Structure 1
Amino acid sequence: MRLSLDNKVFAVTGAAQGIGASIVKSLIEEGAKVAAIDIDAEGLAALASLTGVTCFSGDLSTADDAHRLCQEVLDSQGEVYGLVTAAGGVRGQVGRALEEVGECDWRKIFAANVDAAMWCAQAFAPVMKATGAGRIVTISSGAGLRPSLTGIQAYTAAKHALVGLTRQLALELGPAGITVNSVAPGFVLSNPATQKQWDAFGALRQGQIVNSIHLRRLGSAQDIADAVVFLCSERARWITGQILSVDGGHA
């Protein structure tokens, strides 16, 4: 089954590494054109040489900055058919007791995981509405469906909020022909931050995590990208408001 996305333009946030970079490459393989967006300009350089990829660097955490960057994408590409919000993560934080969590750290995680998705959807939705079709796929997490392995309160709360935003946008944008879904990854070793988290668990906890997965392995960035590309395709044209767990089965 070929998921042809020939010449459709997608904006992918958090594109510089890990899951985001795999999504960019997978979309390109299906014939799409991609506006790769990330705050990490140096990280984007690895994608700049790919045919069909145009890179845009900037911060998406505030409405003004996100809208400005999205307008740059539209000015360059002329249109955007789909948006994949892979920006997020724990922003270098680790699990701490509730009493030790500060407001700044709390807000950083919400800005990266929820606010950025909201402002980008707000910027691109009018263009999709005008054409009567579009795809929005958020990258949530198993932490958006249950407590997080990271132990980070803000991360769990933010991913739950992103799941809620996904479902609400699906309801609002459905009449315009726009589907809105989320992929919720299990534990994936996709970048230095997730590798650091994994190493911090220690051998005993690592074994417990793997044994709680039906397929007895951690996920890869490509596992997540494959699910995203499906949801971006015409094969998923009557799927919206759904949270697709891609976690190898979770006990």
Structure 2
Amino acid sequence: MQIRFDDRVALVTGAAQGIGRAIAAALAQAGARVHLADLDADGVAASARALGASAHVADLGSPEAAKELVDTILAAEGRLDLLVNAAGGVRGQVGRPIEEISESDWRAVFAANVDAAFFLSQAAAPAMKQAGYGRIVNISSGAGLRPSLTGIQAYASAKHALVGLTRQLAWEFGPHGITVNSVAPGFVRSNPATERQWESYGPDGQKRLIEGIHTRRLGTPEDIAHASLFFLSEQAGWVTGQILSVDGGRS
């Protein structure tokens, strides 16, 4: 099966590093015209230069910012075919007892992991509906299917919410030729936050984690990119509302 995206226009968020960057690279290699978005101005610019893509610096936790980004891409390209919501993360937080969680901590994680995906999907919907075509992939997490290894209540809750959003939008957008799916990665050492988490387990904890994975290895950003490209492809036109665990069998 050959997957190509010639003449397709893609937007990938969280693309300054890690999983988002790997998905953007795979799309560019497969012929798509790719736009990258991230809060990290230097990182997203470097990724865009390396991939021959367009960079956008944006905090997408508000409807206004999401609409501005989509409108900018539509003005430049005349279309938006593929949307990958890969932005997210723990926003520097660590697992703590629920009594210690502030409202701002809770809302920051939801804004990064759920709000941006909702607002970007909302902003992209009119153009995709008019075209009668669209592919949306939300990068969720194993934490959206079970308790999170991070121990962060907001992160597990937000990723569960992203899974729910995926299924709801698949139902709503399906009649318009738009599919919505999610890839749920297992543990991937893809950015400084996951590196810190990995180090925090220590040698014994790292060994236990790997022994709990059928393939006895951690995932890579490219593992997640390969699964995402299938959902974005023409070949997945009758696949929607699905959550694919890409975790070496841990789930």
Could you state the TM-score of these two structures normalised by the residue count of structure 1? 0.98
The answer as to whether partners of 2:188 and 2:220 remain within 8 angstroms in 1 is yes
Query: What is the aligned partner in structure 1 of residue 181 from structure 2?
Result: 181
The answer as to whether partners of 1:62 and 1:119 remain within 8 angstroms in 2 is yes
Query: What is the aligned partner in structure 1 of residue 47 from structure 2?
Result: 47
Q: Are 1:138 and 2:138 an aligned pair?
A: yes
Q: Kindly, what percent of the aligned residue pairs are identical?
A: 59
C-alpha distance in structure 1 between counterparts of 2:38 and 2:77, whole Å: 17
| Long gaps (5+) in structure 1 | none
**SS of equivalent residue, structure 1 residue 46:** helix
1:58-116 per-residue CA deviation (whole Å, 9 max, x = no partner) reads 11011112212221122222210010000001111111111111110100000000000
Query: What is the aligned partner in structure 2 of residue 75 from structure 1?
Result: 75
Query: What is the aligned partner in structure 2 of residue 224 from structure 1?
Result: 224
1:29-58 per-residue CA deviation (whole Å, 9 max, x = no partner) reads 111111111111110122232465111111
User: Letter of the aligned partner of 2:12 in structure 1?
Assistant: V
**SS of equivalent residue, structure 1 residue 84:** strand
C-alpha distance in structure 2 between counterparts of 1:69 and 1:12, whole Å: 11
User: Letter of the aligned partner of 2:208 in structure 1?
Assistant: Q
Q: Are 1:152 and 2:163 an aligned pair?
A: no
Instruction: Report the count of equivalent residues.
Output: 251
User: Letter of the aligned partner of 1:187 in structure 2?
Assistant: F
User: Letter of the aligned partner of 1:45 in structure 2?
Assistant: A
User: Letter of the aligned partner of 1:72 in structure 2?
Assistant: T
User: Letter of the aligned partner of 2:152 in structure 1?
Assistant: I
**SS of equivalent residue, structure 2 residue 249:** coil
Q: Kindly state the Cα deviation for residue 193 of structure 1 after the two structures are TM-superposed.
A: 0.8
CA RMSD of aligned residues (A): 1.0
The answer as to whether partners of 2:11 and 2:37 remain within 8 angstroms in 1 is yes
Query: What is the aligned partner in structure 2 of residue 88 from structure 1?
Result: 88
Alignment of 1:1-251 (within 5 A): 1-50=1-50, 52-250=52-250
Q: Would you identify which runs of 4 or more consecutive aligned residues in structure 1 move more than 3 Å?
A: none
The answer as to whether partners of 1:138 and 1:182 remain within 8 angstroms in 2 is yes
**SS of equivalent residue, structure 2 residue 12:** strand
Which one is further off, 74-83 or 141-150?
A: 74-83
Could you state the TM-score of these two structures normalised by the residue count of structure 2? 0.98
C-alpha distance in structure 1 between counterparts of 2:96 and 2:197, whole Å: 13
User: Letter of the aligned partner of 1:153 in structure 2?
Assistant: Q
C-alpha distance in structure 2 between counterparts of 1:66 and 1:133, whole Å: 20
User: Letter of the aligned partner of 1:56 in structure 2?
Assistant: H
The answer as to whether partners of 2:136 and 2:181 remain within 8 angstroms in 1 is yes
C-alpha distance in structure 2 between counterparts of 1:22 and 1:51, whole Å: 10
Which one is further off, 102-111 or 43-52?
A: 43-52
